[in-house]
């Protein structure tokens, strides 16, 4: 058994052995309706939340092909990490870094998710190793808006306060450009300029002609426009 050039991160937890198979399902939120004398039509909606499933092997002994960030750790360390991701009730980043055997960087997956469930299996044929089946679901940030209604003698007026997001970095006052380097992803670039990785869509929408149809596919030396927000 050998690593396939993929690194799987669940938050800060690097899986020691990359799963042999990854299933990513982009769910459909379209709605089918029936019109009188017209038959069925399909009402197109924004895509639903993405589901992610994979099975990983957690070794109880150190294999030469296993990868650890800071030395060998037993299965109990990783099982504790999975349990914390489930019980903390907080979203985390799911990241897959892909490289060819030659070392050439392929596209990455970087998505905020929640731990839906995981199942632990022990099989005598697998020795002391543990197999864990994990299900993740995409997380989208959301919030509420405050509406202030002012009344006068004529008619009521309403104003909407835009949702405020915490930011550790000031947004650029004017549009800037940024040249992509190896290992970059839109999430990290948005985090750098806006202090909020969730604003990666702002950068993507401004650079569709450069990036193409998949926001996960960016390449070194691409020059991106960073809009002011």
Q: How many residues does the chain have?
A: 229
**153 falls within a domain:** no
b/e per residue 2-27 (b: at least 16 CB within 10 A): ebebbebbbbebbbbbbbeeeeeeee
Quote the tokens at residue 69.
Answer: 């960030």
For residue 108, how many other CB atoms are within 10 A of its CB? 20
Instruction: Let me know if 135 is exposed, middle or buried by CB neighbors in 10 A (0-12, 13-18, 19+).
Output: middle
Q: Are 13 and 94 in contact (CB under 8 A)?
A: no
Structure token digits, residue 56: 């990983």
Please tell me the number of Cα atoms within 13 Å of 195 on its side-chain side: 11
- The residue segments making up the domain with residue 177 are 166-226
Structure confidence by residue, pLDDT tens digits, 85-131: 999 989 999 999 888 877 787 888 899 999 999 999 988 888 889 99
Task: Write down the pLDDT at residue 154.
Answer: 64
State which H helix or E strand residue 76 sits in: helix 75-87
Is the residue at 161 inside a domain?
A: no
pLDDT tens figures, 171-196: 666 788 999 998 889 888 988 898 88
- Final residue of a domain: which of 94, 121, 138? 138
Overall average pLDDT of the 207-220 stretch: 87
Residue 156 covered by a domain = no
d(CA 199, CA 110): 13
- Per-residue pLDDT, 2: 41
Cβ atoms of 91 and 1 closer than 8 Å: no
Residues 114 and 176 occupy one common structural domain: no
CATH number at residue 10: 2.40.30
pLDDT at 155 over 80: no
Q: How far apart are CA 52 and CA 48, in angstroms?
A: 13
Which tens digits make up the pLDDT trace of 10-47? 999 999 999 989 999 988 888 888 888 788 888 888 88
Q: Are residues 173 and 128 in the same domain?
A: no
Which of 120, 138, 156 is at the close of a domain?
A: 138
Q: What is the pTM of this model?
A: 0.57
**Number of folded domains in the chain?**
2
E-strand ranges in 19-153 read: 22-26, 31-35, 39-43, 50-58, 92-98, 109-121, 130-138, 146-150
Nearest to 223 by CA among 166, 179, 174: 179
What is the pLDDT of the chain when averaged over all its residues? 85
Residue of higher predicted confidence among 93 and 157: 93
């Amino acid at each position: 058994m050998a690593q396939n050039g993929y690194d799987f991160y669940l938050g800060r937890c690097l899986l020691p052995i990359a799963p042999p198979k990854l299933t990513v399902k982009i769910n459909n939120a379209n709605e089918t309706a029936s019109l009188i004398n017209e038959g069925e039509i399909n009402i197109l909606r924004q895509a639903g939340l993405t589901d992610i499933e994979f099975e990983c092997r957690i070794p109880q002994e150190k294999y030469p092909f296993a990868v650890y960030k800071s030395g060998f750790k037993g299965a109990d360390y990783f099982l504790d990490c999975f349990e914390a991701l489930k019980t903390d009730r907080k979203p985390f980043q799911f990241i897959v870094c892909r490289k060819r055997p030659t070392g050439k960087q392929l596209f990455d997956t970087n998505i905020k998710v929640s731990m839906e469930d995981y199942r632990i299996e022990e099989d005598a044929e697998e020795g002391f190793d543990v197999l864990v089946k994990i299900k993740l679901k995409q997380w989208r940030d959301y919030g509420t808006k405050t509406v202030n209604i002012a009344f006068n003698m004529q008619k009521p007026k309403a104003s909407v306060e835009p949702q405020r997001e915490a930011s550790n970095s000031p947004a650029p006052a004017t549009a800037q450009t940024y040249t992509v380097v190896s290992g970059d992803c839109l999430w990290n670039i948005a985090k750098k300029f806006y202090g909020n990785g969730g604003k990666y869509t702002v950068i993507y929408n401004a650079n569709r002609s450069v990036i193409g149809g998949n926001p996960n596919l960016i390449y070194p030396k691409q020059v991106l426009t960073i809009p002011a927000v």
